[in-house]
Structure 1
Amino acid sequence: MHRKVFASKVFDRKVVLITGGCAGIGRAIAMRAAQGGARLVILDLQQESLDSLVQHLEDHHNVEALGLCCDVADAQAVEHAVAHAVERFGGIDVLVNNAGITHRSNFADTQLEVFQRVMAVNYFGAVHCTKAALPSLIARGGQIIVLSSLSGFAPLLYRSAYNASKHALHGLFETLRAELKGSGVNVMLVCPGFTATDLRKNALVGDGSVAPQPPLAIGKVASAQDVAEAIYQGALKRKRLLVLSNVNWRARLLARFFPRLFERVLLPRLSGLKPQRSGLH
């Protein structure tokens, strides 16, 4: 869908650093920020994909972009990448903690290494990037955007490590927001619903191997571009919480106030389980 470039100049020449920026929501955010005139720093794992994206951004959006190969789970690598970005552009105005992985496996059958890897990327990756970028963000009155999930407030079956990592992000960044009060830095937690991305194609299973999973959805599946547009508009307004999709409000309400009903009715559907028909054997 063709998108009109809004007249707002809020992000014109601002430096936006996006983790996991070569695919899915991260790539869509990079494109939308480029439309707004931002200068971009993209962190991801494959240099070839980074080079291709940077070339596309420069050729089609006429923006400055820097692609850095970096595993956000590696604190030292993140420090070097952020230092490189600051040296190149003078600072960071917006940090988008988007990088993440998932799994699908029963808790009892999930090896400890899977929990460690999911937390290393989803939670500690955000910790590493935020610690490294925070001095610049404070100096520039910037913004931290954190990609959480529906599972940040409502669980999904067979994703205990993933669910835990998203709950941890809420605990961390809600605390950080309070600590940063008066600094000029905004913290926005984003909770998308089911979104058409490749995350499920690289899902881990209990033994730590990768096994693509079928798409799981209830209601309409959002495009990465639609989610990126909502995030961009939320960032313009410096929102604190952005809850997206037509299912999240129901899940959030039921999980908090009617947990037994949530577990019986909505949780199986959200988790991709087919409903059982009574009277059939």
Structure 2
Amino acid sequence: MQRKVFDRKVFDSKVVLITGGCAGIGRALAVRMAQAGAQLVIFDLEQNALDGLVQHLADHHNAGALGLRCDVSDAEAVQRAVALVVERYGGIDVLINNAGITHRSRVAQTSLTVFQRVMAVNFYGALHCTQAALPSLIARQGQIVVLSSLSQYAPIPERAAYNASKHALHGLFETLRGELEGSEVNVMLVCPGYTATDLRKNVLVGDGSTAPQPMLDLGRVSSAQDVAEAIYQGALRRRRLLVLSNLGWKARLLARCFPRLYQSLLLPRLLGDRP
């Protein structure tokens, strides 16, 4: 009971902005933060999905939420949306940079537009939202949560643009953390393992079109709710790094210390007989 009381007080009435909040981990985080009493703002691309989630949060969690259609890769659109949030609620306490897309294609068969699109959403989207919200976050001594990936430690073949975007996030936000020293703004990088979400249903392929992809056969797959709960608990403690790898510590150690061996063991499993 003490933990539940403590949990609710931390985010009660706090303004929490979640990007890509209508599905997967983003939606699970919206529900979890609503349960903690937060005032939610959700950015996503589909207004119908936003309206449905806002209604769900009101009906099932008695939580107020604002759903805004916003393409995080559009810097001007982000500035307008964040300005609206600050005008309406007075500021932002927690920014969760969750919006992301992925692809599946080898570097040699991947068009430049795919690299640009993945970076535009995964990297620049997080940058746009953070720069727009930063004055408010500093004023409120808030928190930035960044959804990175297990690929930061163990890159997955045929995900070069995705892997690169996640490495870039670490470079950006570890630098920002140092620049914010003394401001009381916390930056938490989160590296989930393999998670059951809808992301694989609209995967970019080499020519820029989309196609559903099968789930990778790499052991236990976490639920979005379990990942959201772990992120929530990490945010409570204002952690700096949260690695939620269901690949196992041995595999991560192998990838970091013996990359050739890691690739020789992993590649055949991932690529099968494909050339």
TM over 0.5: yes
Residue 235 of structure 2 is matched in structure 1 by 235
Residue 6 of structure 1 is matched in structure 2 by 4
Residue 279 of structure 1 is matched in structure 2 by none
Deviations 1:163-189 (A, max 9, x none): 000000010001111111110000000
**Structure 1 residues 160 and 215: alpha-carbon distance in aligned structure 2, compared to 1, 3 A threshold:** same
Separation in structure 1 between the aligned mates of residue 185 and residue 84 of structure 2, nearest angstrom: 22
**Secondary structure at 2:201 match in 1:** helix
Separation in structure 1 between the aligned mates of residue 239 and residue 259 of structure 2, nearest angstrom: 28
Letter in 1 for 2:38: A
**Secondary structure at 2:41 match in 1:** strand
Letter in 1 for 2:78: V
* TM-score normalised by the chain length of structure 1: 0.93
Check the 8 A contact 2:137/2:143 in 1, yes or no: yes
Deviations 1:192-230 (A, max 9, x none): 010000001110000000011011131210000000000
Q: Report how many residues are paired.
A: 271
Residue 148 of structure 1 is matched in structure 2 by 148
Check the 8 A contact 1:18/1:26 in 2, yes or no: yes
Check the 8 A contact 1:144/1:185 in 2, yes or no: yes
- What is the percent sequence identity of the aligned residues? 74
Offset at residue 275 of structure 1 (A) = 8.3
Deviations 1:102-151 (A, max 9, x none): 00001001000000000000000000000000000000000000000011
Offset at residue 67 of structure 1 (A) = 0.2
Check the 8 A contact 2:119/2:161 in 1, yes or no: yes
Letter in 1 for 2:116: Q
Q: Are 1:273 and 2:274 matched, yes or no?
A: no
* TM-score normalised by the chain length of structure 2: 0.95
For residues 55-66 of structure 1, the aligned pairs below 5 Å read 55-66=55-66
For residues 90-109 of structure 1, the aligned pairs below 5 Å read 90-109=90-109
Separation in structure 1 between the aligned mates of residue 158 and residue 96 of structure 2, nearest angstrom: 27
**Structure 1 residues 54 and 192: alpha-carbon distance in aligned structure 2, compared to 1, 3 A threshold:** same
Offset at residue 259 of structure 1 (A) = 1.2
Residue 122 of structure 2 is matched in structure 1 by 122
Letter in 2 for 1:195: T
Separation in structure 1 between the aligned mates of residue 268 and residue 11 of structure 2, nearest angstrom: 41
Residue 167 of structure 1 is matched in structure 2 by 167
Check the 8 A contact 1:42/1:50 in 2, yes or no: yes
Check the 8 A contact 2:221/2:246 in 1, yes or no: no
Separation in structure 2 between the aligned mates of residue 153 and residue 193 of structure 1, nearest angstrom: 10
**Secondary structure at 1:114 match in 2:** helix
Separation in structure 1 between the aligned mates of residue 108 and residue 59 of structure 2, nearest angstrom: 49
Segment of structure 1 superposing worse, 222-231 or 237-246: 237-246
**Structure 1 residues 56 and 185: alpha-carbon distance in aligned structure 2, compared to 1, 3 A threshold:** same
Offset at residue 59 of structure 1 (A) = 1.7
Separation in structure 2 between the aligned mates of residue 252 and residue 268 of structure 1, nearest angstrom: 17
For residues 1-281 of structure 1, the aligned pairs below 5 Å read 6-8=4-6, 9-269=9-269, 272-274=270-272
Separation in structure 1 between the aligned mates of residue 104 and residue 140 of structure 2, nearest angstrom: 40
Separation in structure 2 between the aligned mates of residue 158 and residue 121 of structure 1, nearest angstrom: 18
Segment of structure 1 superposing worse, 256-265 or 131-140: 256-265
**Structure 1 residues 90 and 120: alpha-carbon distance in aligned structure 2, compared to 1, 3 A threshold:** same
**Structure 1 residues 142 and 47: alpha-carbon distance in aligned structure 2, compared to 1, 3 A threshold:** same
Separation in structure 2 between the aligned mates of residue 75 and residue 246 of structure 1, nearest angstrom: 34
Separation in structure 2 between the aligned mates of residue 250 and residue 89 of structure 1, nearest angstrom: 46
Letter in 1 for 2:70: C
Letter in 2 for 1:130: T
